[in-house]
Structure 1
Amino acid sequence: MKILCLILLLRASVQLQCDKKKITAHVGGEFTLKCDYNTKSFLFSKKYWCRGPSGHTCVIVMDSEQVHKSSDRTHILDTPRYGLFVKVTQLQFEDAGTYWVGIDKIYADIMTSVVVVITEVPVSKPKVWPTSSLVTRPTCWGASVTVRCSCTKGTAVHFAWYKHTHHEDLLLHLSSDLHLHCSTVEGESQYYCVASNDVSREQSKVISVQALVPADSNCIYAVNMEGQPIYDCADRMTTTSPETSPVPTCPTTEPLKIHTDSGDWSSSLNHTLQDLFLSRSKTGLPLWLTLLRWGSFAFLLIFLCIVHECTKARHRKRPKRKRKVLFKPLPNLAA
């Protein structure tokens, strides 16, 4: 009897074969199962998708003739050339279990089993961003900042924040938000978020936090993360201290006062001229010394030009000397 059963199973496996024996899919997804069968013998036979632990007791979910149709998410396509296709969409956790692909046959159907496993949706790589803008550099004035972690894909996702250290990564808390404030930042630290569920685990980009002036309140720190403006607090470091007010103050300018009193006006004018005279030029020398040097050079140049012109005039006025021609008397030829 056992030998007969083995022969029947072997013959059934030859006549009907599917490309998967186990299907793993996630919630909300879908799967497609392809099966080949002997088209010469069972081309016009009814095919069906049946659910249950045993082929004899399983319940038909869908068949190729759509006589039995208990689910709108299950589809069967029977093609003579490419074989039999079973497609299930919008999967739910309740869809997990043992299924059978069967071909209707007199006395004994030809069947093969398939196990379907439904899991959570794998998480995508999480992204981090501040809940408030960093353009105005609030951390330079000791304000608190909240950094949020989120995923675009994944079901039943759990979030956790870690602090990177030289020895090991320290778990801070199980939450999607990281709160940064004066009492928590110290030195130069790196943080990252981890998103996970039962089937996958992903880590976010690292954010860097540098405490420039640590303090319990009115501290100075900078946050650097991808997609956010890079900034420093250099002006805050040079203009204020942690003990001063965290609110920046702008210097006030007094309007120019014009006095009508002649004594005050002359005193102000003398003071202005003195500042102008003693101010330094671009060369680093006092302005009066620079003017004196250039004045001496100009005077020397003018003096040389005058001497040159005078010399040329003297040469033009000097009279030219005429050469005297002496004629010797001719000898007396008559004598």
Structure 2
Amino acid sequence: MDELFDLDPGAVLTRGDRAARWGGGTQRGIEPSTRTPNVFLYADPAEAGKFGYVDGWAPGGDVFLYTGEGSEGDQQLQQGNLSLLEHRKQGRALRLFIAASGKQRGGKLHRYVGEFEVDHDSPCAQEDAPDALGETRSVWVFRLRPVGAVEYRESDASRRDVVEAGPRAELVAVERVVAVESDRKATPGGKARRREAELTEQYRAWLEAQGHQVMQWKLTLPGQVAALRTDLFDATVSEIYEAKGSIARESIRMAIGQLLDYRRHVPVPGAALAVLLPARPSDDLVDLVTSAGMSCVYRQDAGRFHRVGPTTAS
């Protein structure tokens, strides 16, 4: 689309170098240029990993999944996101770059992947993801298709559990989550996910020690970029678990809603539901869980767990 753009896929340069030649800002993930008909997109696996996802090639290598901009609250189809979505209408090319170095003097290096366009039939979809404060919000995930020659590397594959068709429900092995961030450097969202992962792993081991078969449901839904996974599914007694790393009211209310959503799609009539917590919440919150027809399971000292069921006195 822009004959003046002569960068070959695989070339490495800083944002400043690119801005000096073709315009656009140097701070945001999506940078429309006012000097040339381009929208410059930047993907940074190290930064995206802090929020639980990494943009990249979907299986098959014909679509690149790219999360829109906005680090707090629900993302909106405005500003850079709108420029990306309407690039054809605006006569602009999408130019994708991936971080190729950490911070350094003179600016971080970025590798040019090539020119893309949003998919004609399915340009974008909404997905839940944590924001910079660790709060769950809605993000826009754009489906980008190559235009002409691009650089494809297997190391640039997306780390999303990509949905290819739906709806579908599959019983799969528990996906082990290993958190590697230190307490000093971890984001609020990273800390919350680590606490949930540790709690889930402890309870899985607790159930299996009692002879239970523990799995997960992988739910492929129409209009979703990523598949949903239940935290745990006790196949021995047909019970779905949602774990939270906090006993705050907001977390417990969210768990109740997630469980109700899962049960709509899990093909197990009458499946029981349970909220898994790191400690006993207040009596009022225990009552909130049980009044919704769910069990409240929480960790006690010495790694033991206690259950308060819908008909069990607390």
TM tier, shorter chain?
under 0.3
Q: TM-score, normalised by structure 1?
A: 0.16
TM-score (structure 2 length as normaliser): 0.17
Bigger Rg, which one: 1
